[in-house]
Amino acid sequence: MPERDVFYSGMRKLEKWFKKTLDDDQMEMWLDKVRNIPTEPFNKIIDELIDQGRPNSFLPTPEDMRKKWFNWLAINPERVHKAKEFCPECDSTGALEYWLWKTGSIYGYHCGCAKCENWRNVFPTQGKNIPKLMTRQEIIAIGGSLDDPDRQPRESRRVVNSVEEAVDIAVNDIPF
Ligand SMILES: [Zn+2]
C-alpha cells in the first residue's frame, strides 16, 4: 500500500496536471482500489501517467494505475519479495491477463489466479475490490483469449538485459 501521504501527494500531482479535483470520498475510493501498490512503484506510476497524459485531458483511472502496476510486476518480478508459491497456471504472478471482445472492440483485463494464493500479493484482499479468481480454462470458457491480440507474446517483454532497457520498456510499453 502506498503510504497515505505518498498517495495523497501523488494524487495532487495528477489533479494539477489534468486540472481535475477529487473530493475526499473519491480519494478514499481510489485508495481502496490501488492499496496493493507499494510506495516506490506508486511514485513511478504517477510519473508515467503524467509523462503520457496531456495537460487538462481526462484524468487517468484507477484501472490505468493497476495496468501499470501489473506491467511493473512483469518487468520487476524479483522486486516482489513476499513469499510466493510456485504456480505454473499464472507463472507465479498471482494474476492472469486476458482479452474479451465486446461490441466490436477488444478489452484487456486482469483477474486473480484461482489455483494459488499469490493473487493476495497483487490485488486488494478486502473490500469491494477483491478480484475475480479464475483459471485459464475458465477464461477460455467465458470466451476470453489468453493471447494479446495485437502484441508480441508476453514472454518477449520479459527478456530484459539491463536496467536501462527495463526503464525503456516501462516508459514505452504502454499496456493496452
Ligand atoms: Zn497461480
pLDDT tens digits, 25-54: 999 999 988 988 988 899 999 999 999 999
Q: Which residues surround ligand 1, an ion (CB under 5 A)?
A: 87, 89-90, 113, 115-116
pTM of this structure: 0.62
- DSSP states along 23-72: -HHHHHHHHHHTTTS-HHHHHHHHHHHHHHS-TTSPPPPHHHHHHHHHHH
- Are residues 42 and 117 both part of a single domain? no
- 111 beta partners: 96
- Are residues 50 and 100 both part of a single domain? no
- Are residues 34 and 49 both part of a single domain? yes
**Is it the case that residue 129 has pLDDT exceeding 50?**
yes
pLDDT for 155: 40
C-alpha 16 – ligand 1 centre gap (Å): 39
C-alpha 84 – ligand 1 centre gap (Å): 9
Q: What is the mean pLDDT of residues 79-86?
A: 75
- Are residues 59 and 109 both part of a single domain? no
Number of residues that make up the chain: 176
- Are residues 103 and 120 both part of a single domain? yes
Residue 151 forms part of a structural domain: no
In this prediction, residue 2 has a pLDDT band, given cuts at 50, 70 and 90, of: low
- Which structural domain, as residue segments, surrounds residue 138? 85-145
In this prediction, residue 107 has a pLDDT band, given cuts at 50, 70 and 90, of: confident
